């Protein structure tokens, strides 16, 4: 090709133009020839999709007649933007992934009146975005994503703009009024914008969940898996019973989407080179049956991108996951024609780590189209957020079989945990009702008939302060429970996590009463006595009206009225487990009452029962409370965020909580008496002595377990002892 440059350096511009276009996507290495700057009549140069070294030759600044310049995928070095300053005839300027480190102030963009498309994405450009670019009268497509821009967005834009990508920068502030124009495609993912309800009302939903510093569910996971049938108009059940969600939105050159359950999202950026091509699509379909897959329907659609396609898992429980990506190439026919010569090449990243470089679906399938390919990777989710990134590095064949059929392409995604989850999965019933799905442990030894019997018993237990159990599934490897979905999530998220809810004292008091009434029903009013065994703030959910509902019967224990207690394998969460249950496996409803006492104190204090970030005397809520109570200063634990609260009610709640957490189960009042004391219908007995487990715990340094006859009670790990009941089965399996 270099010989071609020399041979035609004095020939017509049209001949050289043809040669230049052939340079794109050929895997050339070395430096871009410096002598190109001596060909001032060039009007069209395309050098993307190779592995040229930087920096970009300054001699290119002589090409002032250029109308199209496409450079991309420079492998090293650093370049400035100054070389384009005099290329004011440009209508299409693409400097994507060129290792440009500069400020847009280096160029007077107001001189580029003919510019229609500007792509400076995937560089390291800093500073603010100038008003002059957004005011260009002919500019239609602007891509400045994946840079290091800061500051606020300009206040005005040209009415000619149809697509803007500002994703993956460090932009801040509120959104300008033009951001909500209905005819504008706008991608603002992965910035630090302040998003009020009015700012984002006309934008695709879920943008708050895709900002850098405020992703949804951070610290309060809701899900442990998700699956997407990319580009599909209907959900699909896989051969392994995985339900793949619909993904029908044609995102265009700059947009994003978050699923209705806020479970996963997708972001797309990139304008196809054929700017006027009407056949360029982001979703493509094939009616062909795919012989080598049991899930042929999954491959009838695919999502395609001209540049960068990202899928996100939102609110995932932290841990180790398997990411399964499924592909099939059906754009290139298996025929002896030029159309079969097409190549689709892109890179695959998971959690920012490169998993596949120059991945070619057809090549991986043995040179065949219509043959499915699976790629499986393991990854760690550490902040309740997962990112899968498919990136086009300019390689392949952009114009085969037609214009606009290059770039990443994917048919299906599924993400599953390599651990036993402790959270619920969301979803919808056929009638449109939102649901939460709980996966139970595979270690349960119950038979199907026993499991069905217990679940049917529990589902008959209904109360306004209990989460309703809709049904179950036992067809797969692990049993599933299907609950009603509560919009405001868990109480621990509202109190301690990343939640927009503000709970004043009146709300907190009603939540305490609601939990107490729910437990009273389970213990004393239901047709069958039920001990929950894992009462904690995370197992109390809040509906739209902030009505508390006790959830997660995965650890529930049913027992007969005639039995005074049950000896059973310990299950529950440390910090809420009663001493007699932890030490001897002795289970009665008094274990739930102890845990409820802990929850009451957490609600009053607005903090978990352990907080290692506090000063030593306040780390453990019980230790701190007893030190204050003995000084007649118990109200000192009240949440400082409560500007106003009813002191009489708050003190009453504290006293009831101290009764509920007495060391001996016989000293703890039944739940009906607890409700009466909370409402003022019964006197609250005076608590005189500190429970012995507190004294023993203090003597042993606050770091001993129940098993050694003292009370740590303030960690999040699960407890386990060896005793197993031979008389009763576990309610709904071992959670």
Convert the pLDDT of each residue in 477-513 to its tens digit: 667 778 888 888 889 888 987 677 889 999 999 999 9
Task: State the catalytic residue, choosing from 102, 247, 534, 552.
Answer: 534
For the packed helices 647-660 and 621-629, what is the interaxial angle rounded to 10 degrees? Answer: 120
- Give the span between the Cα atoms of 625 and 598, in whole angstroms: 11
Judge whether 732 lies within some domain.
no
Q: Which residues contact 452 (CB under 8 A, 6 or more apart)?
A: 472, 474
In the block, residue with structure tokens 């879920």? 206
Helix (H) or strand (E) holding 401: none
- Give the span between the Cα atoms of 573 and 213, in whole angstroms: 30
Our answer to whether residue 504 is catalytic in this structure is: no
Question: What's the predicted TM-score (pTM) here?
Answer: 0.66
Q: Which residue has the higher pLDDT, 461 or 112?
A: 112
Q: What is the largest CA-CA distance in the chain?
A: 103
Number of domains observed in the structure of the chain: 3
pLDDT at residue 682 in the model: 94
298 and 447 assigned to the same domain: no
**What b/e sequence results for 688-711 when a residue is b if at least 16 CB atoms lie within 10 Å of its CB, and e otherwise?**
eebbebbebbeeeebebbbeeebb
Give residue 154's pLDDT band: very low, low, confident or very high (50, 70, 90).
very high
**Three-state SS sequence of 171-205:** EEECCCHHHHCCCCEEECCCCEECCCHHHHCCCCC
182 and 255 assigned to the same domain: no
Task: Residue 233: give the domain boundaries.
Answer: 226-417
What are the E-state strand segments in 534-689?
540-542, 548-550, 557-559, 566-567, 586-587
- Give the span between the Cα atoms of 611 and 264, in whole angstroms: 31
245 and 132 assigned to the same domain: no
Contact 141, 162 (CB under 8 A): yes
Tell me which of 417, 439, 463 is where a domain ends. 417
pLDDT at residue 634 in the model: 94
600 and 636 assigned to the same domain: yes
- Give the span between the Cα atoms of 604 and 503, in whole angstroms: 11
Backbone angles phi, psi at 178, to 5 degrees: -70, -15
461 and 413 assigned to the same domain: no
Judge whether 215 lies within some domain.
no
Residues in a beta bridge with 376: 324
412 and 442 assigned to the same domain: no
Q: Which residue has the higher pLDDT, 362 or 14?
A: 362
382 and 446 assigned to the same domain: no
pLDDT at residue 122 in the model: 96
433 and 564 assigned to the same domain: yes
Tell me which of 348, 382, 417 is where a domain ends. 417
Judge whether 727 lies within some domain.
no
Judge whether 735 lies within some domain.
no
Give per-residue pLDDT as tens, 592-631.
999 999 999 999 999 998 887 788 888 889 889 999 999 9
344 and 478 assigned to the same domain: no
Judge whether 460 lies within some domain.
yes
Contact 92, 116 (CB under 8 A): yes
pLDDT at residue 202 in the model: 63
Residue 569 pLDDT greater than 50, yes or no: no
Judge whether 733 lies within some domain.
no
Residue 385 pLDDT greater than 50, yes or no: yes
Q: Which residue has the higher pLDDT, 477 or 10?
A: 477
- Read off the CATH number of the domain in which 246 is found: 2.60.120.430
pLDDT at residue 596 in the model: 97
Q: Which residue has the higher pLDDT, 241 or 374?
A: 374
360 and 401 assigned to the same domain: yes
- Read off the CATH number of the domain in which 438 is found: 1.10.510.10
Contact 408, 304 (CB under 8 A): yes
Judged by DSSP in three states, 688 sits in coil
Judge whether 726 lies within some domain.
no
Tell me which of 399, 417, 435 is where a domain ends. 417
**Three-state SS sequence of 642-656:** CCCCCHHHHHHHHHH
Residue 729 pLDDT greater than 60, yes or no: no
Handedness of CA 224, 299, 257, 482 (dihedral sign): negative
From 443, 379, 489, 400, select the one nearest 718 (Cα to Cα).
443
Judge whether 60 lies within some domain.
yes
443 and 502 assigned to the same domain: yes
Residues in a beta bridge with 210: none
- Give the span between the Cα atoms of 361 and 584, in whole angstroms: 59
636 and 504 assigned to the same domain: yes
Q: Which of 199-213, 376-390, 601-615, 660-674 has the lowest mean pLDDT?
A: 199-213
Residue 681 pLDDT greater than 60, yes or no: yes
- Give the span between the Cα atoms of 697 and 712, in whole angstroms: 6
Give per-residue pLDDT as tens, 508-545.
999 999 999 999 999 999 887 888 888 999 889 999 89
From 609, 656, 614, 610, select the one nearest 634 (Cα to Cα).
656
């Amino acid at each position: 090709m270099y010989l071609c440059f020399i041979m035609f350096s004095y020939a017509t511009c049209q001949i050289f133009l043809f040669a230049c276009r052939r340079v794109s996507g050929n895997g050339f290495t070395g430096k871009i020839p410096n002598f190109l700057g001596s060909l001032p009549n060039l009007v069209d140069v395309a050098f993307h999709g190779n592995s040229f070294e930087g920096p970009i030759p300054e001699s290119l600044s002589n090409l002032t007649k250029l109308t199209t310049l496409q450079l991309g995928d420079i492998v090293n070095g650093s370049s400035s933007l100054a070389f384009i300053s005099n290329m004011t005839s440009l209508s299409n300027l693409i400097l994507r992934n060129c290792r440009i480190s500069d400020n847009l102030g280096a160029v007077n963009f107001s001189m580029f009146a003919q510019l229609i498309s500007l792509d400076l994405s995937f560089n390291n450009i800093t500073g603010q975005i100038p008003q002059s670019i957004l005011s260009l009268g002919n500019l239609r497509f602007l891509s400045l994503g994946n840079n290091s821009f800061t500051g606020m967005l300009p206040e005005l834009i040209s009415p000619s703009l149809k697509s803007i990508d500002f994703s993956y920068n460090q932009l801040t502030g509120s959104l300008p009024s033009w951001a909500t124009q209905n005819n504008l495609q706008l991608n603002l993912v992965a910035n630090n914008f302040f998003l009020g309800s009015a700012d984002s009302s006309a934008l695709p939903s879920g943008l708050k969940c895709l900002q850098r510093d405020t992703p949804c569910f951070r610290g309060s996971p809701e899900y442990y898996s998700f699956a997407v049938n990319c580009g599909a108009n209907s959900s699909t059940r896989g051969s392994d019973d995985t339900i793949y969600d619909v993904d029908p939105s044609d995102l265009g050159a700059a947009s994003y989407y978050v699923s209705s359950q806020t479970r996963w999202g997708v972001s797309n950026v990139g304008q196809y080179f054929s700017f006027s091509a009407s056949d360029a699509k982001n979703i493509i379909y094939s009616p062909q049956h795919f012989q080598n897959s049991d899930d042929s329907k999954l491959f009838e659609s695919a999502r395609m991108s001209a540049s960068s396609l990202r899928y996100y898992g939102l609110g995932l429980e932290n841990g180790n996951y398997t990411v399964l990506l499924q592909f099939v190439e059906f754009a290139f026919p298996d025929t002896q024609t030029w159309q079969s010569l097409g190549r689709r090449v892109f890179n695959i990243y998971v959690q920012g780590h490169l998993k596949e470089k120059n991945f070619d679906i057809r090549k991986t399938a043995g040179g065949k189209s219509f043959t499915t390919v699976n790629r499986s990777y393991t990854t760690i989710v550490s902040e309740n957020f997962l990112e899968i990134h498919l990136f086009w590095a300019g390689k392949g064949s952009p114009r085969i079989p037609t214009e606009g059929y290059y770039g990443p392409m994917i048919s299906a995604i599924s993400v599953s945990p390599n651990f036993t989850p402790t959270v619920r999965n969301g979803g919808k019933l056929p009638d449109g009702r939102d649901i939460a799905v709980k996966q139970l442990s595979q270690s349960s030894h119950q038979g199907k008939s026993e499991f069905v019997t217990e679940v049917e018993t529990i589902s008959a237990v209904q109360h306004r302060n209990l989460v309703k159990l809709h049904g179950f599934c036992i067809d797969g490897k692990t049993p599933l429970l299907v609950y009603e979905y509560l919009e405001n999530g868990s109480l621990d998220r509202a109190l301690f996590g990343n939640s927009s809810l503000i709970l004043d004292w009146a709300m907190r008091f009603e939540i305490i009463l609601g939990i107490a009434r729910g437990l009273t029903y389970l213990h004393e009013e239901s047709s069958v006595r039920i001990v929950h065994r894992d009462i904690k703030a995370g197992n109390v959910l809040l509906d739209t009206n902030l009505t508390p509902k006790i959830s997660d019967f995965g650890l529930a224990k049913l027992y007969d009225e005639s039995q005074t207690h049950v000896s059973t394998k310990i299950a529950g969460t440390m910090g809420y487990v009663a001493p007699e249950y932890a030490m001897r496996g002795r289970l009665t409803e008094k274990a739930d009452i102890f845990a409820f006492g802990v929850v009451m104190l957490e609600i009053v204090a607005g903090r978990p029962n352990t907080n290692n970030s506090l000063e030593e005397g306040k780390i453990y809520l019980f230790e701190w409370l007893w030190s204050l109570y003995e000084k007649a200063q118990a109200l000192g634990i009240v949440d400082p965020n409560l500007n106003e609260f009813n002191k009489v009610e708050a003190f009453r709640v504290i006293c009831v909580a101290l009764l509920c957490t007495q060391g001996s189960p016989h000293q703890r009042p039944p739940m009906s008496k607890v409700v009466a004391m909370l409402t003022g219908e019964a006197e609250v007995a005076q608590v005189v002595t500190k429970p012995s487990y507190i004294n023993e715990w203090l003597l042993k340094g606050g770091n001993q377990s129940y098993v050694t006859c003292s009370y740590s009670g303030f960690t999040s790990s699960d407890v386990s002892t060896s005793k197993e009941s031979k008389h009763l089965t576990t309610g709904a399996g071992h959670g």
